[in-house]
Amino acid sequence: MYRFVTVTLLALFATSSFAATCEEQAADKKLAGAKTSFLKKCNTDAVSGGCTAQADEKKLAGAARNSFLKKCETDGKAAHAAAGCEVQAAEKKLAGAAKNSFVKKCVTDAGMQ
C-alpha cells in the first residue's frame, strides 16, 4: 500500500511538472487555436509514458500489462483533472462548500470530454 501511494504521488507531481513543460512547449510554438488540443495530447502522452515505465518496472506482459496501462492512464487523467480543477478554484478564490462543489463538477465535466 505504501508503495502504491508513493508511486501515485510521484506520478501526480510528475504530471504537474509535465503540464508546465507542455505549457512552455505550447508557448514556444506560438500556437493559436490549436493550443488546447496540443496541451491535451501533450498531457496524455506524459501520463502514458509514466505508466509504461511502471509496467516495465513491474515486468508485466500481455493482458496484465494492457489492463495495468489502461487503469494507470485513467487514474492519471483523473488526478490531472483534479489538480487542474483545484487550480481553477484557487483562481476563482473559492472556499469551503463552494470550492468542493466546483471541483466535483469540474472533475465530472473533465471526465466526460
What is the pLDDT, as a whole number, of residue 2?
54
Q: pLDDT by residue for the chain (113 residues), tens digit each?
A: 555 555 554 554 444 444 457 777 777 877 777 777 777 777 666 666 788 888 889 999 999 999 998 998 888 777 777 888 888 888 999 999 999 999 899 888 876 55
Long-range contacts of 72-75 (CB under 8 A, 24+ apart): 72/47, 73/44, 73/47, 73/48, 75/8
What is the pLDDT, as a whole number, of residue 39?
74
Residue recorded with cell 471526465: 111
HSE at residue 28, side-chain half, CA atoms within 13 A, is 6
What is the pLDDT, as a whole number, of residue 1?
54
What is the pLDDT, as a whole number, of residue 6?
54
What integer best gives the mean pLDDT of the chain?
77
